[in-house]
Structures are given as structure tokens and as C-alpha cells.
Amino acid sequence: MPLYDYKCDACQTKFEQEHAMSVPPVKTCPHCGQERVRKILSTGGVMSGGMSRSPASGPSSPCGMGSCGSGMCGMS
């Protein structure tokens, strides 16, 4: 069951609540009772990075030796 982080805008209290994804998020602050609670995204989420890794096929030197343009690698 995922753990969610919440913060109350009224009293600035942060708290965690564990509930299923199908359950609506917490609205009422357990400390001050006001409905000023916001869900905050926990750090280390799944949406960071991702697109940086590229395959080892460069556009200029398919042999990886950097000398393909001169015909020295023998792979062209």
C-alpha cells in the first residue's frame, strides 16, 4: 500500500498517510481539523531521469574508433 506525504496549509504540519490508490486523498488535517491539506510529491519518485541513456550507436563513428570517415577501420 503506497505511502503518501501530505502538508497542511493551515498549520504547516506534514504527515504521512498510508492508503490505497483507490481511496480519495486526505483533505482534513489531523492536527487542526481544517480542510487545507495538500498532497506533496515525495522525493525519489519514478519520473526523474529516464531519457538520458542512449544506445552506443553514434552518428559519426559506427566502429567506435573515430576514424571511419577516413576508411581506416575496415568496417565501411
Long-range contacts from 23-32, C-beta under 8 angstroms, 24+ separation: 32/8
Q: Does 19 bind Zn ion (CB under 5 A)?
A: no
Q: Does 11 bind Zn ion (CB under 5 A)?
A: yes
Q: Does 75 bind Zn ion (CB under 5 A)?
A: no
Q: Tell how strand 3-8 and strand 14-18 pair up.
A: antiparallel
Q: Which is nearer to Zn ion, 7 or 61 (CB)?
A: 7
Cα 5 to Cα 17: distance, rounded to the nearest angstrom = 7
Q: Which residues between 26 and 45 bind Zn ion (CB under 5 A)? A: 29, 31-32
Q: Which residues bind Zn ion (CB under 5 A)?
A: 8, 10-11, 13, 29, 31-32
